[in-house]
Chains A and B, each alone.
Chain A
């Protein structure tokens, strides 16, 4: 049972504000998109307009080389610090922004490398400089330009992006927002364009899925942090998490195959656990190592748990990790104790709360 008194709206708001102030360092908000033409720039610059109308000190630190007319119209009403042009290219004018020191700076387009001679090699590092100086930054990026997703993106688009931002920087954002809109399409397409459109649609769908899952992962991290900070021992199950119990004799192939398939479909986290047993024989140890290696190869996080009772140990761990599904093999033991008190699987089935127990053939 949780023991948290309900907060009044004022307390809630104060908390949010205190948190923002306490960070001291600027606060990063990421606007995530998955294609051009979904209106990401408009959404960002429109937020700048709204903030300014509410009296905030707002500047625009970077705009795209070409912005649509409706964005241009908004920009005319806002203070823009122009990009710095040098012979080899352009970059944001960090010194000018630092000197101007606004409350909020908007950067439309985060994934750019700076030309030589700039303060930082990349624009995201420029943004870090602004954040360190206590400026709040709202920055936009498309999912294609996340460094760690480059290979997936190349598989989808055939292009390998060179100017990217590390995922850790995106995950460090205090807020993330996804712009999930249908990209503009050609009006009255020719048959060739229609064929193109089908392929384009498939590519966009995959990028869109990538962006939604990335946003969900960042949000999940925020939820975990929030619950931790507030000492709330509770799991909300918004993210599926699968725990596969490995023993030296598990039929690991079917368990891991199923686990991987379900994890893929649910975008779930996959954990494989072994509850350590004393006096395990060398053969069993070898069998166990082999099974753990298979789980690891399937992308599972491996944990070794210590505890007297198999079931208690699993359930305690599952609860602490917010597990929603436990995978376990059918018991082979059929001793007198199992007959009297039930096998570990029987006990697990009875004692689990708020999760699924999936029992596998051995």
Chain B
């Protein structure tokens, strides 16, 4: 880990984060992380394992030998017992480096609902963290992953968390080698392998995921070397209560990240707040705006009765260069008005680029 880190938290420099990125279970992320942990320990660094998922893999388990493991906390939750990483115990132990497997994991019954949030706490306390994740869990790729695999990944990590990492390294293995490993029952137990082979682990799915991971790793490298931001770009997203808004926000954020552009999301309401919406729509729109904020997108509710002109006026006043809209839904039951909205914005904002994003439909089945 090399990038100098000057941010201070409680007078202590923030810990450094290194992510071992893979594209499927069994590519060897955890193994690589443990290997690095072992090397650090040999060099006299104080290393502990904060969380480790053995998956009954012998080679990987062997790599934990000699490394101190912080016991997991046991949590009684609605009559079941769950085991989660014990963040408080790690803070009390305060090692130099902590290894945390499965970065995108969702906790049950703990103070913070996501493991990546626990990791933020460790970093803030000045502890360096090595962690593992698969490309599938990157928030902005959620729709593309659904398209490729047919699976809606629920445990996601906001892109900014990965961008803040000091290093992202790709753990690569060819899909063929991975299929062989799986076939030999190294990755999962034998029975589970049969199932996995038929679904997630089809060769074309693996190849596509691998390509995504390689390109993401290349992007993460580029993002960390000083690329001059290209011509100044500002992106505006129209958020509504309609379900495609989540997909739209992810896509817009991905494009703005790649272009080093600013990104805003706005909703337009006659009252300038959400009071006139039905409870269902209000809940949906609130969720979308909240989702945008979690991805570090600034949000606002604009006051106006004419959505198209209110949006375009706001865009002009704020030197927006690109407006992102969801593709209007087709069908008899969709009022012509909502179809017209996109057309009207396209006509009104002839001085801007308008990007209409359509759903990435599932290709996997």
Contacts and interface: CB of A to CB of B under 8 A. Distances in A.
Interface of A: 2, 6-9, 12-13, 16, 29, 175-182, 185, 187, 197, 201-202, 205-206, 208-209, 212-213, 215-216, 219-220, 222-223, 226-227, 230, 232, 234-239, 257-258, 261-262, 265-267, 330, 342, 345-346, 349-350, 352-362
12 contacts: A7-B198, A12-B179, A12-B203, A212-B218, A215-B214, A222-B207, A236-B148, A237-B147, A239-B211, A265-B219, A265-B222, A350-B327
A178 B214 contact: yes
B355 A357 contact: yes
Contacts of B328: 349-350
Interface residues of B, number: 67
B31 to A, nearest CB: 12
A349 B58 CA distance: 53
A326 to B, nearest CB: 10
B290 interface: no
Nearest to A352: B358
Contacts of A206: 225
A180 B211 contact: no
A346 B343 contact: yes
Contact of B353 (A180, A222, A358): A358
Contacts of A6: 198
B65 interface: no
Contacts, number: 182
A235 B148 CA distance: 9
A354 B358 contact: yes
Given A9-B193, A177-B173, A223 B2 contact: no
A341 B283 CA distance: 36
B363 interface: yes
Given A212-B215, A352-B358, 13 more contacts: A7-B198, A16-B176, A179-B172, A180-B169, A209-B218, A215-B214, A226-B207, A236-B363, A238-B212, A261-B231, A265-B258, A349-B343, A361-B351
Contacts of A353: 358-359, 361
Contacts of A352: 327, 356, 358
Nearest to B210: A219
B357 interface: yes
Contacts of B221: 205, 208-209, 212
B354 interface: yes
B210 A175 contact: no
Contact of B174 (A7, A177, A181, A354): A177
Contact of A219 (B147, B202, B214, B251): B214
Nearest to B230: A261
A227 B204 contact: yes
Interface in B193-207: 193-194, 197-198, 202-204, 207
B176 A175 contact: yes
A358 B354 contact: yes
B198 A8 contact: yes
B208 interface: yes
B241 interface: no
A216 B218 contact: yes
B167 interface: yes
A113 to B, nearest CB: 29
A298 to B, nearest CB: 14
A52 to B, nearest CB: 16
B183 interface: yes
Nearest to A225: B207
A220 B207 CA distance: 8
